[in-house]
Structure 1
Amino acid sequence: MIKRRRFIQFAGLGSISLACSIQDKLQISKFFQSHPLAEVDLQTFEYETPEINRKGQLVGLQKLSNQLFLEPLDSKQVLNMVAVPSSQSRVRWVHSKHRNFAQARHTSAPAFFISQCPITQAQWAAVAALPKVKRELDPAPSHFQGSRRPVESISWVEAVEFCTRLSHLTGRTYRLPTEAQWEQACRAGSHTPFHTGATITSEWADYVGTYTFAGEAAGTYRRQTLDVGSFAPNAFGLHDMHGNVWEWCADRWQRTDARNTLAQRSIRGGGWLDPPERLRSTSRSGYDPNALNRTIGFRVMTVLS
């Protein structure tokens, strides 16, 4: 049942290097050395990440490792906060008649930590139970119910309230990622349309898999969100950067044409209701910060200092 909250139907928002490079690993190591645990217990975790070719065929799975720390929310729920190394590129926004996308520009972006998956409904409920800062939070706002599914049907202002409450709880500053940080995390060192390679299939993400992007065969359209972490992670160990739900970013939605819509906030990543081109690492859109949509969730980031 759709909640009695402002809800706007969202219809059509519109070679990968599988290992972290040696330079990336050195950056991670230097970051940890210069931030000696920063009052957190950094742990190493291992995972496998895929590469697929233009036909959607699996080229291989690479075994990788990265570091994370656990952020408790209550007696049951924790956030896995994964390291994202510094990057030598930043994004600028390019607008064409039919789409908006990001284009890399050479610059430096510092390291940070980001939640391994979109915020789940159980994690949302844990933080919604904390004291109010500026606004109330519905503990169960999502259209598709499930404790491990991503929370959705939450506005940008509610996501910001979540971050503020989490900051008060932990003593660390949590925020929504900027678009540049989000793309840095999504790409995980890749320079292809998807972190999986030249294309993506419904075996590796939740989207309208009956549409194709390159030479892959059509796949499955599940018509709903899935539990976070249902698919293999990218080369940083992050799940669901493509598909499942769009993710709120901190930035105002910027377009380079005359129809600038600064009141909107940026969203990235595509969702279960989108064709594959909307899932590209560069794909971007904007949405009313007070509106709700069953295709939009979020993840959080922090910097240890």
Structure 2
Amino acid sequence: MTTSVQQNPEYDNSLFPETFPLPHAIEWGEDDYGLYQVFNFFGVEHGFRWIPPGRFLMGSPEYEKDRGKYEVQHWVTLTKGFWLAETTVTQALWQAVMGDNPSEFKAEQNPVERVSWKDAQKFIEKIKTALPELLLKLPTEAQWEYACRAGTQTPFWFESELSLKDANYWGKWDSGDDENSDNLGKTCEVKRFKPNPWGLYQMHGNVWEWCEDYWNEDLGREPAVDPTGPKDGALRVVRGGGWFGIGRDLRSATRKWDDPVIRLNDLGLRLSLGHELQGGGADT
């Protein structure tokens, strides 16, 4: 069912998307988290949330517990908004598009895993071939962190210490303590935990998420505008932490990388819709 959009006076209307809904949307509207729209991809519905343009501090402050050496804090401005999928790609969606399910932990509403960056590109291209009007891609690393934080500057969007009530991961946040008998020991449903303030589920934990960018270990301290990463490289960025990770891996600022051909059972993807960004290369 389609709902009308009321322009809430709390919003700056200039931050609304230029086109809404996008072609092929089957449902759209506004709720407590903001604007949303739903698409039917090969018979499976997949929802997206509007992420408005804005400015934020990317990286972590030097006093943040368990921060990594690649998290130098700097201002980033995203001049255009974009749509980000409210969940990672499910096994049901991957199966519908690609005709197979490579995941180790089989369940339709769990995230697809054991997919490489190159696999993700083939998946995206197949949807784009069927629905060419949609500018479908992986999010950039800066887009991912901006969306994960949803206006927060704490280690996690929920502004409290991490627990197994908040995310699916292997152990406690305490440094060196990766034992916890209550962890799930595998992936779980993509909507098992509550979403962040922008309506995005499990930006922390469950599976690491591929980003579009090539890996860059030094983001620098200078302000950046619409960064897309290096023009080339051997590795691709992953974000968010996974079910097998310890708590420090789940922080909003945690930055890691993987070979674009690797397939792991804690590594999946989340889709983005929006304007074209130059850089990052398709390397398929």
Report the TM-score, using the length of structure 2 for normalisation.
Answer: 0.78
Conservation of the 8 A alpha-carbon contact between 1:102 and 1:283: no
- Whole-Å Cα distance in 1 between the matches of residues 47 and 145 of structure 2? 19
SS at match of 1:166: helix
The answer to whether the aligner puts 1:301 opposite 2:272 as a matched pair is yes
Following TM superposition, by how much is the alpha carbon of 1:232 offset from its aligned partner in structure 2, in angstroms? 0.3
SS at match of 1:122: helix
Given the superposition, is the C-alpha separation of residues 181 and 190 from structure 1 closer, same or farther in structure 2, using an over 3 Å criterion? same
The answer to whether the aligner puts 1:145 opposite 2:106 as a matched pair is yes
- Whole-Å Cα distance in 2 between the matches of residues 209 and 255 of structure 1? 26
- Whole-Å Cα distance in 2 between the matches of residues 78 and 107 of structure 1? 31
- Whole-Å Cα distance in 2 between the matches of residues 269 and 256 of structure 1? 19
Given the superposition, is the C-alpha separation of residues 106 and 296 from structure 1 closer, same or farther in structure 2, using an over 3 Å criterion? closer
The answer to whether the aligner puts 1:123 opposite 2:123 as a matched pair is no
Give the number of aligned pairs. 249
Conservation of the 8 A alpha-carbon contact between 1:68 and 1:81: yes
Following TM superposition, by how much is the alpha carbon of 1:106 offset from its aligned partner in structure 2, in angstroms? 4.5
- 2:193 is aligned to 231
Conservation of the 8 A alpha-carbon contact between 1:121 and 1:147: yes
Q: Which amino acid aligns with 1:234?
A: N
Q: Which amino acid aligns with 2:92?
A: A
Following TM superposition, by how much is the alpha carbon of 1:184 offset from its aligned partner in structure 2, in angstroms? 1.0
- Whole-Å Cα distance in 1 between the matches of residues 112 and 71 of structure 2? 25
Following TM superposition, by how much is the alpha carbon of 1:176 offset from its aligned partner in structure 2, in angstroms? 0.5
Following TM superposition, by how much is the alpha carbon of 1:303 offset from its aligned partner in structure 2, in angstroms? 1.3
SS at match of 1:185: helix
Given the superposition, is the C-alpha separation of residues 33 and 263 from structure 1 closer, same or farther in structure 2, using an over 3 Å criterion? closer
- 1:43 is aligned to 28
The answer to whether the aligner puts 1:190 opposite 2:152 as a matched pair is yes
Report the TM-score, using the length of structure 1 for normalisation.
Answer: 0.73
Unaligned 5+ runs, structure 1: 1-21, 47-63, 130-138
Q: Which amino acid aligns with 1:104?
A: H
Unaligned 5+ runs, structure 2: 1-7, 220-229, 277-284
- 1:66 is aligned to 34
Q: Which amino acid aligns with 1:125?
A: Q
SS at match of 2:125: helix
- 1:180 is aligned to 142
The answer to whether the aligner puts 1:155 opposite 2:112 as a matched pair is no
Following TM superposition, by how much is the alpha carbon of 1:99 offset from its aligned partner in structure 2, in angstroms? 4.2
Conservation of the 8 A alpha-carbon contact between 1:273 and 1:295: yes
User: Percent of pairs identical after alignment?
Assistant: 29
Matches within 5 A, 1:76-95: 77-89=44-56, 91=58
SS at match of 1:37: coil
Instruction: Map Cα deviations across residues 176-234 of structure 1 (whole Å, 9 max, x no partner).
Output: 10000101110011111100104221101000244437xxxx78321100010100000
Instruction: Map Cα deviations across residues 14-64 of structure 1 (whole Å, 9 max, x no partner).
Output: xxxxxxxx99x524x434363243434663354xxxxxxxxxxxxxxxxx3
Given the superposition, is the C-alpha separation of residues 35 and 190 from structure 1 closer, same or farther in structure 2, using an over 3 Å criterion? same
- Whole-Å Cα distance in 2 between the matches of residues 290 and 70 of structure 1? 30
